[in-house]
């Protein structure tokens, strides 16, 4: 019956398999552990992530391997992004622990959903087929919807989860519709073969472009760029801050991988079409994100709008890969590695900023208003300095990592000949600097509203300091990370 069956190579997918096995083990362990052993789930989750990182590192071989009937790809890009993903999730675990414990949300299910969300992101990062990409996305989204609503007695969290769920389902529908159109035109779901079929030029381009519009809309929703950004402020605001920290960081890495694989690995033949769509969305995101953030009084909402503008910058880099008719490999790699660099620096800054919000909240009290940052310098000069570094970096002030990220993106865009777009982006960034610097002003020049000292575990203090210093150090020495990004992409694309 199974004469021609060849066992798929499981070696490239070892981290995913390990994570699934551990998640099932944690599910059972937590169910039988009882209330006295609640520490079991977080500790096992941490060990699982460390184990995944070790496996990913050990199985790294610098070449692209396809397995599971060409549905799964293991290349340097996926290994690199997965390692960053584990780091982000570990940081999320450490930052969120006290906050969740104070609100009685640190149930075993939280850690399980976190692990399954991680699995979803890993699947997205390694997807080489429309089907697995969609399934990874759904795995991630479903876990996130439940995590947003995990504080079920909070009406705001429930409302946010409901909005996220309905809009997310709509976006998944758009994405699937686009995928089905492209499948109809090319007759395959595999990204490599889609690219080949488009390259041969025998397919109906009208149907392809029609599908592409829906595909780009779906990806744009997941990245949260204008005009598909409406969910971002409400979900960032409504979700428990520990979950906001997760939503704002790791999924952006996965969404970046999804955008890169879909648009560059799969639909590169349609670059002239998707570039103009991305350009429009990038300019609108940078504009609306920065302008709307000025009006916010809640820091979670403000960082939400700032996320929109940051994703706009990332799109700006993605659309700068091809200039004109001929494809210049150097410019291509430059543009995509600046996009990768941007997304990494954004994740680093976003983790730090939401980590600071978590650091200031205590007990049942949420420190999510700008007011709460007033006079932080008097309460804790060290953490005020960390927050100032993060805000300077987000604003794109020189010699922090955010500056080099913006700079390399703008260079790539100028090289591709989009000077007008670059000018617009710079103007809006300058406007945006206002609301980042306002936080710094509140911390250093205003008197504190409450003078309570900052209480946090040693691990959190250490990690948040490390996070802030990393933002400063990568800003002083940006070359090593940039070279790593370039090398990864050269060996993957």
Partner 1 sequence: MDLKTIIFYVFAALLIFAALRVITARNPVHAALYLVLAFFNAGGLWLTLQAEFLAITLVMVYVGAVMVLFLFVIMMLDIDIKRLRQGFWRNMPLAATLGVLMVAEMALVLSTDYFGPVAFPGTKMGADYSNTRELGRLLFTDYVYPFELASIILLVAIIAAVVLTLRRRKDVKHLDPVQQVAVKHSDRLRVLQMPAEKEGE
Residues within the interface to partner 1 (CB under 8 A): 1-2, 5, 8, 13, 20, 27, 68-69, 71-72, 107, 109-110, 112-113, 116, 119, 123, 129, 131-132, 135-136, 138-139, 142-143, 145-146, 149-150, 152, 184
Cα–Cα dist 289/308, whole Å: 5
Pick between residue 126 and residue 377 the one whose CB is nearest to partner 1. 126
Pick between residue 139 and residue 405 the one whose CB is nearest to partner 1. 139
Pick between residue 44 and residue 401 the one whose CB is nearest to partner 1. 44
Pick between residue 8 and residue 448 the one whose CB is nearest to partner 1. 8
Burial 197-217 (b: 16+ CB within 10 A, else e): bbeeeebeeeebbbbbbbbbb
Cα–Cα dist 421/424, whole Å: 5
Least separation in angstroms between CB 103 and partner 1: 14
Least separation in angstroms between CB 188 and partner 1: 13
Least separation in angstroms between CB 392 and partner 1: 39
Pick between residue 48 and residue 132 the one whose CB is nearest to partner 1. 132
Least separation in angstroms between CB 421 and partner 1: 38
Least separation in angstroms between CB 451 and partner 1: 37
Cα–Cα dist 127/119, whole Å: 12
Pick between residue 65 and residue 380 the one whose CB is nearest to partner 1. 65
Least separation in angstroms between CB 138 and partner 1: 6
Least separation in angstroms between CB 448 and partner 1: 37
Residue keyed to tokens 């700079």: 407
Pick between residue 143 and residue 361 the one whose CB is nearest to partner 1. 143
Pick between residue 111 and residue 305 the one whose CB is nearest to partner 1. 111
Least separation in angstroms between CB 245 and partner 1: 19
Pick between residue 35 and residue 330 the one whose CB is nearest to partner 1. 35
Given a contact cutoff of 8 angstroms between Cβ atoms, the answer to whether 240 and 108 are in contact is no
Cα–Cα dist 313/225, whole Å: 10
Pick between residue 131 and residue 294 the one whose CB is nearest to partner 1. 131
Least separation in angstroms between CB 111 and partner 1: 11
Least separation in angstroms between CB 93 and partner 1: 17
Pick between residue 14 and residue 20 the one whose CB is nearest to partner 1. 20
Least separation in angstroms between CB 417 and partner 1: 40
């Amino acid at each position: 019956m199974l004469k021609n069956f060849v066992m798929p190579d499981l070696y490239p997918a070892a981290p995913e398999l390990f994570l699934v096995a551990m998640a099932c083990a944690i599910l059972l362990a937590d169910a039988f552990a009882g209330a006295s052993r609640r520490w079991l789930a977080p500790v096992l989750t941490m060990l699982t992530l460390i184990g995944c990182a070790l496996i990913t590192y050990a199985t790294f071989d610098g070449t692209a391997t396809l397995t599971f009937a060409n549905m799964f790809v293991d290349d340097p890009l996926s290994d690199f992004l997965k390692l960053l993903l584990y780091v982000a999730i570990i940081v999320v675990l450490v930052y969120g622990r006290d906050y969740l414990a104070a609100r009685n949300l640190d149930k075993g299910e939280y850690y399980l959903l976190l692990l399954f969300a991680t699995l979803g992101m890993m699947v997205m990062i390694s997807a080489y087929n429309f089907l697995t990409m969609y399934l990874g996305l759904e795995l991630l989204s479903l876990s996130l919807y439940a995590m947003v609503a995990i504080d079920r007695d909070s009406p705001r969290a429930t409302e946010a989860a409901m909005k996220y769920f309905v809009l997310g389902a709509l976006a998944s529908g758009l994405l699937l519709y686009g995928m089905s159109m492209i499948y109809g035109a090319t007759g395959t779901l595999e990204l490599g073969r889609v690219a080949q079929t488009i390259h041969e030029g025998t397919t109906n381009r009208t149907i392809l472009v029609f599908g592409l519009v829906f595909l780009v809309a779906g990806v744009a929703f997941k990245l949260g760029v204008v005009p598909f950004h409406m969910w971002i402020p409400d979900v960032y605001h409504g979700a428990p801050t520990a979950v906001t920290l997760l939503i704002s960081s790791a999924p952006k890495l996965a969404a970046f991988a999804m955008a890169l694989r879909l648009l560059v690995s799969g639909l590169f033949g349609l670059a002239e079409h998707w570039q103009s769509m991305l350009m429009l969305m990038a300019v609108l995101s940078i504009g609306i994100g920065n302008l709307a953030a000025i009006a916010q009084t809640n820091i979670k909402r403000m960082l939400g709008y700032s996320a929109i503008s940051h994703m706009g910058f990332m799109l700006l880099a993605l659309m700068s890969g091809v200039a004109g008719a001929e494809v210049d490999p150097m410019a291509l790699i430059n543009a995509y590695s600046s996009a990768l660099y941007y997304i990494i620096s954004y994740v680093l800054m976003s983790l730090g900023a939401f980590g600071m919000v978590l650091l200031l909240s205590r007990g049942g009290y949420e420190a999510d208003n700008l007011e709460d940052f007033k006079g932080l310098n008097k309460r804790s000069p060290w953490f005020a300095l960390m927050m100032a570094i993060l805000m300077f970096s987000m604003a794109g002030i020189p010699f922090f990592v955010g500056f080099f990220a913006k700079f390399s993106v703008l260079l790539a865009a100028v090289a591709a000949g989009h000077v007008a777009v670059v000018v617009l982006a710079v103007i809006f960034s300058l406007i945006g600097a206002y609301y980042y610097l306002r936080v710094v002003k509140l911390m250093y020049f205003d008197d504190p509203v409450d003078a309570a000292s900052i209480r946090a575990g040693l691990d959190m203090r250490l990690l948040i300091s490390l996070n802030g210093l990393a933002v400063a150090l990568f800003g002083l020495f940006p070359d090593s990370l940039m070279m790593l990004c370039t090398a990864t992409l050269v060996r993957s694309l």
